[in-house]
Amino acid sequence: MTLTHPPRPDTCWTDLLRRWQSQTDLRDLEELLIWDQSTQLPQAAGADRGRLLAQVAVWRQDQLTDATYGRALDDEGAHRDRSPAQQRLLALARRERDRAERLPRALVQRTAELNAEGYGTWVQARATSDFQRVAPVLERLLDTRLETAAHFPEAGTPMDHFIDQVDEGFTRAQVSALFAELQPALQAMLRAAPTGEPGPDPLAGPFDVAAQRRLAQQLMTDLGFDPDRGAQAQAPHPFMVRVGQRDIRIATRFDPDHLAPGLFSTLHETGHALYEQGVGEDLLGTPAGFGASAAVHESQARLWENLVGRSLPFWSAYLPDVQAAFAPQLGGVDAADLHRAVNRVSPGLIRVQADELTYNLHIIVRYQLECALLDGALAVRDLPDAWNAAYETNLGLTPPDHARGVLQDVHWYAGQLGGAFHSYALGNLMAAQLFRAAQAALPDLHGDLERRSFTALHGWLARHVYRHGGLFRPAELIEQVTGSPLGSADFITALTRKVSPLTSPPAPHFLQETP
């Protein structure tokens, strides 16, 4: 489905395009303020930034709820000659307008201010590992989220509403069913993995941060990131934002004591950025001018991070570079050593540092806690204890402090309580299906990666995923590209092939890939 503009001047459609561009500009302005907030905002400026974000949110709501805009959408809906792509744009616009019309202006303003307050308080609370410092704000954030969901009673539960907002068409029942398949399979694989000391970790530092950043920038360019349409910075929590149609920025975090966090957060966020940079030019400034959904976005990040970046061909290709950059530490290792190290099965406390086997268990814990909070079955004051108990059950670990436990992720404290984490796991499932389809279409993909040539894979993803933006619902897109509805089979099969060699010598303690 491609967007085709009318062959003759069309005043009504042109007016809609102008309005959509203005709405997009305000959304990009909001992201620019968030980028600045996350990378360099002075600590004392939090309230000021909250007020600015609230003002932008109100301006955007005013545009979305404008009566003239509503009539224009209604008039366009009556046209019979619009293409399927144009009809999809109208459907997305009506969906966004309906949401704006239902939410009181005061609630929108209060939510934006509270989200900014929550972010600033979380930064301070995590630095001191003090959950009680941020708990009152989280309680207000929860109340605000419940108040928001109450304006959409047809969704079912609050979690249903928030899931649909970020992954259109998905429901709590669908997500829970997929997780019900994943959780026992992952726990069984984890139980089967050998225990004991895994041996030295070649990726343990120290590693010069400046050298890490140079390597990261090289990887971004090699994968296809256009530096003329984006930038990179450092932040406490890695993320990607689109602050303009041709201005895609990523923030990563480098650890002087370990190479993996900076390397893999760069690959992950570059995957997000490639998606946004690849959206079709004719869609920019329209309701479909963004990635299809949060889960599809995560599929692109996880595909480049895990299916490419944790593969043996990738490490064979980049062994000379990492050895040149970090000669004292890595001069004596080979590609197989590094491949084993980055695929080590090692249950840990930190989601963003988790291996492929345990990562989705981190997500399922968060998803189940979100559901309990929104259902009223769990009080905010009891969240740390519930978090610790869930980690003991799923990963056999108990966080020694809140910074490595309930405070490690920013999402809930910045206003994303509900629908914040399920997309990461859905993205892993989507990535596995998409990579299988790419392998079928690109028979020399393994050789391409060994030659550090990403053009074919990048091009395949651009044609089949990136360029479509939001023209398809996420489930429709995945089925269209892969030929199958979303499921867990491809992910579980691929992961089992990695994990199964763990059960016997000669390679204990590591994930292995089969040819």
Mean predicted confidence (pLDDT) in 284-312? 96
pLDDT band at residue 509 using 50, 70 and 90 as cut-offs: very low
Confidence (pLDDT) at 410: 92
Residue 64 covered by a domain: yes
> d(Cα 288, Cα 492) in Å, to the nearest integer?
32
Does the active-site annotation cover 117? no
pLDDT of residue 514: 29
Q: Does a structural domain hold residue 266?
A: no
pLDDT for residue 91 = 95
| Across 57-64, average pLDDT | 93
Is position 272 annotated in a ligand binding site? yes
Does the pLDDT of residue 9 top 80, yes or no? no
Tokens of 473: 């619902």
Q: Please name which of 484, 490, 515, 409 lies closest in space to residue 185, comparing C-alpha atoms.
A: 490
pLDDT given for residue 496 in this prediction: 86
Per-residue pLDDT for 501 more than 60?
no
Mean pLDDT value across the chain: 91
Residue 515: band (very low, low, confident or very high) from pLDDT cuts 50, 70, 90: very low
Closest CA to 432 of 346, 362, 498, 345: 498
Inter-helix orientation angle 84-102/11-39, to 10°: 60
- What's the rounded Cα separation, in Å, for the pair 356 and 229? 31
Q: Which domain holds residue 35?
A: 11-153
Kindly give the pairing relationship between strand 247-252 and strand 230-234.
parallel
Q: What percent of the chain has pLDDT over 90?
A: 76
For 446-499, write each residue's pLDDT tens digit: 999 999 999 999 999 999 999 999 999 999 999 999 999 999 999 999 888 876
How far is 190 from 393, CA to CA, in rounded Å? 12
What is the tens place of the pLDDT at every residue in 150-200?
A: 999 999 999 999 999 999 999 999 999 999 999 999 999 998 876 555 678
Residue 183 lies in a domain: no
Question: Does pLDDT of 506 surpass 50?
Answer: no
- Contact between 316 and 335 under an 8 Å Cβ cutoff? The reply is yes
- The answer to whether 268 is a known ligand-binding residue is yes
The predicted structure's pLDDT at residue 425: 97
Q: Which of 232, 181, 206, 406 is nearest to 326 (CA)?
A: 206
What digits encode the pLDDT tens for the residues 380-418? Answer: 999 999 999 999 999 999 999 999 999 999 999 999 999
User: Does any domain span residue 268?
Assistant: no
* Confidence at residue 325, expressed as pLDDT on a 0 to 100 scale: 93
334 belongs to a structural domain: no
Tally of structural domains, the chain = 1
pLDDT, greater one: 131 or 116: 131
**How would residue 85 be classed by pLDDT, with cut points 50, 70 and 90?**
very high
Question: Is the pLDDT assigned to residue 507 strictly greater than 50?
Answer: no
Residue 117 lies in a domain: yes
What angle is formed at CA 418 by the lines to CA 416 and CA 420, rounded to 5 degrees? 55
Q: Is residue 249 part of a domain?
A: no
297 marked as binding residue: no
Q: Is residue 143 situated within a structural domain? A: yes
d(Cα 89, Cα 286) in Å, to the nearest integer? 7
pTM: 0.90
Single out the catalytic residue among 30, 113, 269, 276. 269
Per-residue confidence (pLDDT) for residue 512, from 0 to 100: 32
> Residue 467, Cα to own-chain centre: how many angstroms?
18
